[in-house]
């Protein structure tokens, strides 16, 4: 109850319903509509994505192949893995898959002369402009027409620091900070409408305010260019990338994914105690060959009756497990 009376007291200010009808709701509607239009225009401008030519596609795919081999090499038997590794690192070294094998020896010309580079640059600029212009226009519109009066009361308090920002153009020093002008309503909409756009346009829509902010901060640096641009905006040296991928490949050790699989299956279905695996790891790190040959086949065969496998590795593990338990 106390909170309610405080609320009533604070709210000794009445706003003209016309403000609601002609400012509050129109701003929101305009922002939603502009967001939708922007999404459609971006889709229109982008058109169908440009097809990469054969050579550059081969270049990226070769790099991807190296990455895939590194990540999923455990599914290959050792000899297959080694064969692929040797082949790929050889090819990377020689630059077989590069778009232009002699590019690194040639002196670099001016990048601005390269039509492909200029085109990606223009694309980035176009996208940036598409992001910035609508927001700037709306902001100017709101500033021009709707400044100088209180629009709405935020349902939560803010510190006094926000006063100059949220109550710009309203010269009252004593008014509570939660009464804000139309510009704050604009910012609330800018961020809050994201989810509305997600609902209307599906995710991955082009009406993203966060991206606007990014675009504004990186404006003029030719950001958002192509994927193959280095951090400086120069086209990256593919040969160097290939060499580093080769190095990564050389460092990758093969680990056979089915190693010890019988034991793992038995442990999984509860035929063997879990400690077997730990023992196995220990034995492997010491040199597994000696520990496995130590178990005699005759004593093992009596014990495997319960277990559904007769592999010597399993029995060795099983014996070790029993001994420990």
Partner 1 sequence: MSGQQINPDDALYVDMYIAKNSQTMTFIRSSYSAILGLAAGTLGLTNWSGFIFYFLGSAFLSLLIFLVKAKGNPSPYFRQPLDVFTEGVLGGMLSYILFWTLLYGIIHVYD
The single residue among 116, 139, 154, 243 that binds partner 1, judged by CB under 8 A, is 154
198 binds partner 1 (CB under 8 A): yes
302 binds partner 1 (CB under 8 A): no
Distance in angstroms (rounded) separating the CA atoms of residues 213 and 219: 10
193 binds partner 1 (CB under 8 A): yes
Closest separation in Å from C-beta 15 to partner 1: 5
148 binds partner 1 (CB under 8 A): no
Question: How far separated are the first and last CA of the chain, in Å rounded?
Answer: 67
Applying CB under 8 A, what is the total number of residues that bind partner 1?
A: 28
| Contact string (CB under 8 A) for partner 1, positions 25-44, x = contact | ---x----------------
157 binds partner 1 (CB under 8 A): yes
Contacts 24+ apart (CB under 8 A), 138-147: 138/30, 138/31, 138/34, 138/186, 139/183, 139/186, 142/27, 142/182, 142/183, 142/186, 143/183, 146/23, 146/27, 146/181, 146/182, 147/181, 147/182, 147/183
| Contact string (CB under 8 A) for partner 1, positions 45-84, x = contact | ----------------------------------------
The single residue among 88, 152, 272, 283 that binds partner 1, judged by CB under 8 A, is 152
Segment lying near partner 1 (by CB under 8 A), choices 114-122, 152-160, 248-256, 310-318:
152-160
Q: Are 179 and 153 spatial neighbours (Cβ–Cβ below 8 Å)? A: yes
* Residue 229 dihedral angles phi and psi, to the nearest 5°: -95, 140
Placement of tokens 């990377």 in the chain: 92
């Amino acid at each position: 109850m106390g909170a309610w009376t405080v609320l009533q007291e604070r709210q000794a200010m009445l706003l003209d319903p016309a403000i609601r009808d002609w400012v509050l709701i129109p701003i929101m509607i305009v922002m939603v509509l502009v967001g939708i239009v922007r999404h459609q225009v971006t889709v229109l401008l982008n058109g169908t994505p440009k097809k990469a030519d054969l050579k550059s596609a081969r270049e990226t795919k070769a790099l991807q192949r190296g990455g895939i081999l590194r990540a999923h090499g455990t599914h290959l038997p050792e000899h297959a893995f080694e064969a692929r590794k040797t082949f790929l690192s050889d090819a990377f070294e020689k630059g077989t898959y590069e778009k232009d094998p002699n590019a690194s020896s040639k002196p670099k010309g001016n990048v601005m002369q390269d039509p492909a580079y200029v085109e990606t640059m223009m694309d980035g600029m176009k996208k940036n402009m598409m992001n910035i212009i609508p927001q700037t226009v709306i902001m100017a519109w709101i500033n021009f027409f709707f400044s100088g009066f209180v629009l709405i009361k935020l349902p939560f308090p803010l510190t006094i620091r926000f006063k100059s920002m949220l109550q710009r153009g309203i010269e009252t020093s004593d008014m509570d900070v939660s009464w804000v002008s139309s510009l704050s309503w604009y910012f609330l909409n800018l961020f809050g409408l994201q989810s509305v756009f997600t609902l209307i346009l599906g995710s991955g829509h082009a009406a993203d305010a966060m991206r606007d902010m990014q675009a504004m901060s990186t404006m003029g640096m030719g950001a958002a260019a192509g994927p193959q641009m280095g951090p400086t905006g120069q086209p990256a040296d593919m040969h160097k990338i290939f060499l580093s991928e080769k190095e990564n490949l050389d460092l990758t050790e093969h680990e056979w994914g089915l190693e010890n699989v019988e034991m793992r299956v038995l442990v999984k279905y509860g035929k063997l105690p879990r400690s077997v695996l730990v023992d196995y790891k220990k034995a492997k790190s010491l040199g597994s060959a000696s520990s496995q040959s130590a178990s005699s086949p005759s004593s093992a065969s009596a014990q495997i009756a319960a277990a559904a496998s007769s592999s010597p590795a399993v029995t060795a593990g099983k014996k070790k497990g029993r001994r420990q338990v």
